[in-house]
Amino acid sequence: MTTQPLILRKDQERRLLAGHCWIYSNEVDTQATPLKTLEPGQPVEILSRQERWIGHGYANPRALLCARIVSRDPDQPLSPALWLKRIHDALSLRERLYDKPFYRLVFGESDGLPGLIVDRYGDLLAVQITTAGMERERGEILAALEQIIRPKTMVLRNDTAVRELEGLAQGVESILGEPEDAVPIVEHGLELVVSPLTGQKTGWFFDQAENRGRLARYGVGERVLDVCSYIGAWGLRAAALGAKAVTCVDVSQSALERVADNAALNKLDGRVQGLHGDAFEVLRALRDEGRRFDTVILDPPAFIKRRKDEKDGTQAYQRLNRLGMEVLEPGGLLITSSCSFHMGRDTFLRTVQQAARRAGRSLQLLEAGQQGPDHPVHPAIPETAYLKTFFLRVIPGF
């Protein structure tokens, strides 16, 4: 497939020249370069209206976000050599940061590989391709990963709904070896078994690992509630730090079964129990029963996935945090997170503050965390800074 020019409308290059890499269909001069003539995944050279060269990338005329810049070097087009270089660069950062091979190896735009996510579980790589451009390069990218990392097994976790926006099919596929759906990783001294074939996302949430490590400095008390626990990362960390009674709440029964397995694996099963149910309903029931906890952890899925979800999603965050505070002991620790990009840090903090006032509580913000450094933020692409985690002391209102 040959590279085609993609010419922008007048003054539409400013954001790109500042470092962003996304191009929307209404930013393209469709008379000069009709999008309908391009194939999904087509390599393109992005040019300004005055034909200033901006970058190499790929296009998808079927998507609103119709093109992405991959290289700003005229001599470095999309090629196997470019994939090898970018993956080498990504690996170099992670090896500098981590002494064990458990991390996000490739984080899309932040690693110069838009449309590609790779999580590393030791000798297993879980790969997710989300754009037609990267789907077109799939064979060369997988070959590059195999050449550089030398994994024993690789699995494609292409079961994400975002692929629909690109006109791509969804599915899970084993592409190297015979991957198992029970793979051990190590985090902060805990051995945890994750599910790279069937688990949420690619099986684990590496982005919160740094924040879970921060638990040690605050003291979690004896009773801990971990809401939206998935397979127990926060709750097991709290138990390992000395909590005597940890309750993990999740709507997935299979996730809670894995919580129990991971607790037993770390000899913490006497301190950890699962509670199956919807987070909001369980919190209301615990409140009505008069249950109280020294630490409450709220780590829900994104309530605001699209801009139009903002109002309802903000209300959901406020309800969840109010309920969480209502089961906290005075002076208790609230750890609350949002992974919704469309809710900024200040808005999230204001939402939690509003929840506190409704609950008759006052807050002291102790620390604000973000995603770990294996999910680096691209300074010109605010969409790459999505995770907010607040450590708060909650006390009766003053």
> What tokens were used for 53?
């060269």
Strand order in the sheet with 4-7: 4-7, 42-47, 53-59, 65-71, 22-24
Question: Is 248 designated active site?
Answer: no
Rounded distance, CA 329 to CA 169, Å? 48
Q: In sequence order, what E strands does 159-271 have?
A: 171-176, 183-187, 190-194, 223-227, 245-250
Buried b (16+ CB within 10 A) or exposed e, 114-133: bbbbbbbbeebbbbbbbbbb
> What does the CA dihedral 231, 235, 236, 240 come to, rounded to 10 degrees?
170
Which one of 66, 228, 248, 339 is the catalytic residue? 339
At 64, is the secondary structure helix, strand, or coil? coil
Distances (CA, A) of 214 to 241, 286, 394: 11, 26, 18
Neighbours of 145 (CB within 10 A): 25
The string of DSSP codes covering 20-46 is --EEEGGGB-TTTS-GGGSPTTEEEEE
> Which runs of consecutive H residues, i.e. helices, occur in the chain?
14-17, 80-97, 132-136, 138-149, 209-213, 233-240, 253-265, 279-288, 310-326, 345-358
Residues designated as active site: 339
